[in-house]
Homo-oligomer: A and B are copies of this chain.
Amino acid sequence: MSKQMRISIAGSGNMATRLCYAFQDAGVDIVQLLSSSDSGKRLSGFFEIERVENPAELKPVDVVLLCIKDDALISEYLSQFPESLLLCHTSGSVSLDVFGKRKHSGVFYPLQTLSKNREVEFNNIPVCLEAEDKNDLELLQILASKISNDVRIINSKLRKDIHLAAVFVSNFVNHLYNVSEDLLTEKNIDFDILRPLIMETAAKVQTISPTDAQTGPALRRDHKIIDKHLELLSNHPEYQHIYNIFSKSIAENN
């Protein structure tokens, strides 16, 4: 596992940025950054990586990571990349098929919510890998294990299921945080009062199943409190709707 690896990265968003940090920390050589945007200029400047704007300018490396979310963009770009390069996309929801008949291709999907400005420990992030070619897959395993201790081989179908579940526990969960902040701000209460509860709710399911972790009025079928809450939400029909369907669902599933 001590092979010195050389990669290039395409993109300049959250994924590209956090991968630059992770791979540079891990001593992987990031040879080029493919990006023509202003944020690409900043990113290549910050990490002192050579920046190119045209896929044809990419040098031979072990892997090129396409940090681009949109499958239409990925397929549009494809033909411009030298055929010899092992191209990997980093998206949870895009199939390996996007690469068509391309010889060397794969998927390198770190299952985490990434933001440009937020540091994140890559060590325990599950990295989901996929490739047709056995040698390509091996290369991806070596690369992924440089930044994470949780490397998994997952096919496109399962990866999509995982990505869907991830949307529920991350984007939708964050939306509930947002709703609460909205409700509290309206009453001039600082969101910080909920922060320990938010951490503990997440920490609880690190060791036990969510089914065993559940508490609260819906679980107890405490209709007196549920009705009071719905009344408090009378100015927010949208939140009232969420409250209703969640309370019913919790009572039914437990």
Hey, which bits of chain A sit against chain B, CB under 8 A? 14, 69-72, 93, 111-115, 118, 120, 124-126, 150, 152, 158, 160-162, 164-181, 183-184, 187, 189, 191, 193-206, 208-211, 213-220, 222, 224-225, 228-229, 232-233, 238-239, 241-243, 245-246, 249-250, 253
- What 6 A-B pairs are tightest by C-beta distance, nearest first? A171-B216, A202-B202, A177-B210, A165-B180, A178-B210, A168-B180
Q: Which residues of B contact A120 (CB under 8 A)?
A: 200
A129 to B152, CA, bound (A): 48
CA separation between A203 and B173, bound complex, in Å?
Answer: 12
CB proximity of A151 to chain B, nearest CB, Å: 12
With both beta carbons as reference points, the residue of chain B lying nearest to A205 in the complex is identified as: B177
Q: Provide the bound-state CA to CA distance between A113 and B208, in Å.
A: 14
18 A-B pairs with CB atoms under 8 Å apart are A93-B228, A113-B201, A118-B208, A167-B229, A167-B243, A169-B197, A170-B201, A171-B214, A171-B219, A173-B177, A173-B198, A173-B201, A175-B246, A178-B211, A191-B209, A202-B203, A242-B245, A245-B245
Chain B residue numbers with a CB within 8 Å of A218 are: 167, 171
B201 pairs with A71, CB closer than 8 A: no
- The answer to whether A183 touches B164 (Cβ under 8 A) is yes
In the assembled complex, which residues on chain B have CB atoms less than 8 Å from the CB atom of A211? 178, 181
A171, A175, A193, A238 — which one has the most chain B CB atoms within 10 A of its CB? A175
Contact B71 A224 (CB under 8 A): yes
Asked, given contacts A115-B213, A174-B213, A214-B171, whether A206 binds B201 with beta carbons under 8 Å apart, the answer is no
